[in-house]
Amino acid sequence: MPTRDEYQQIARQVLAPHLVNTSTAWRGVYQLLLWFDHDVPHIIDGDQLIKPAWRSRAQAVQAAVAEELGCAPGEVASKVDLLLKSRIFERTPQRQNPLGIGFVSALMVLLEHFCLPTYKFLPEEEIGGAVFPGITQSPRSKPDIVVVRDNAEWAVISAKWSLRHDRLKDLKEECDYFKTLRQRLKFYVVTNEYSPARLDKVIGDYRIDSVFHVCRKLVVDVAQVDGRLERLSDLSELLELFSQ
């Protein structure tokens, strides 16, 4: 099993060319974690990708990513999914756990690069000790990233590459739990979900302060938003939030 440090090293290498500014950071995240399914980018469940509407949207995403990376659409597949293709895996693993760890690792790299030293970004291993001391049990006692300012917990960032229906309840319970511990705590969600219906369920929850998409312009254009996602924010806005 690769260590967290190895994940961070790969994340730094892949993200490095895209750290020009906050608006280009998403390119590195996609190169690290996006993969292809049914010969198109996996932007929604595979059974949806074989349907004409979502296949067309995935092809549009592929074309947009190709333009951003300066390559032909047919070359995108070879330029993404670099985490699972990396040397830290002796053989290709099941995607779920590496995807989750890789997403958090990428966010940590971006937050530490763009944000002011006033903030500290602590991983789940610090829960119960350096932050939220004494926590041993909860609906989810180890959130992905805790933001500390002036030696106090300031925000929780929950990283979910996708928003599965069976995990939405867990996400909301997590938010409730930590806001009960610290009433002024901010709770943010970062995701790459493309389903407007799933996004709407999280954006519309009054307990969650903001939902940030890895690349809002892609999901808004591709999903042909009907107004439900007006409150969806972009990853660049999260990074700028901690840069002020």
Contacts of 142 (CB under 8 A, 6+ apart): 124, 125, 127, 128
C-alpha distances in Å from residue 55, one per residue of 35, 51, 67, 165, 215? 14, 6, 19, 21, 19
* Residue of 163, 228, 222 lying closest to 190 (CA atoms): 163
- The pLDDT > 70 percentage for the chain reads 95
Let me know: does 169 contact 187? Beta carbons within 8 Å.
no
Q: What pLDDT is attached to residue 224?
A: 66
Tell me: the pLDDT tens digits for 25-34? 999 999 999 9
C-alpha distances in Å from residue 236, one per residue of 50, 111, 142, 210? 31, 10, 25, 13
- The pLDDT > 90 percentage for the chain reads 70
Q: What pLDDT is attached to residue 225?
A: 58
Q: What pLDDT is attached to residue 68?
A: 96
Helix pair 96-114, 4-15: axis angle to 10 deg:
60
Three-state secondary structure call for residue 124? helix
Q: Taking 90 as the threshold, does the pLDDT of residue 222 lie above it? A: no
Q: Taking 90 as the threshold, does the pLDDT of residue 38 lie above it? A: yes
Q: Taking 80 as the threshold, does the pLDDT of residue 159 lie above it? A: yes
Q: Is the dihedral of CA 59, 62, 66, 68 positive or negative?
A: positive
Q: What pLDDT is attached to residue 133?
A: 87
Tell me: the pLDDT tens digits for 64-122? 999 999 999 999 999 999 999 999 998 888 898 999 999 999 999 999 999 999 999 99
Q: What is the pairing mode between strands 36-37 and 40-41?
A: antiparallel
Taking the CB of residue 130, how many other CB atoms lie within 10 A of it?
Answer: 15
C-alpha distances in Å from residue 130, one per residue of 8, 97, 114, 123, 219? 21, 25, 23, 10, 36
| Dist. CA 165–CA 156, nearest whole Å | 21
Looking at the whole model, is its pTM more than 0.85?
Answer: yes
Let me know: does 127 contact 166? Beta carbons within 8 Å.
no
Q: What pLDDT is attached to residue 128?
A: 84
* Residue of 154, 229, 225 lying closest to 191 (CA atoms): 229
Mean predicted confidence (pLDDT) in 196-209: 90
Domains of the chain and any CATH numbers = 115-244 (3.40.50.10010)
Helix pair 196-203, 165-181: axis angle to 10 deg:
20
* Residue of 91, 130, 85, 104 lying closest to 189 (CA atoms): 104
Tell me: the pLDDT tens digits for 116-158? 999 999 998 888 888 888 876 655 556 899 999 988 999 999 9
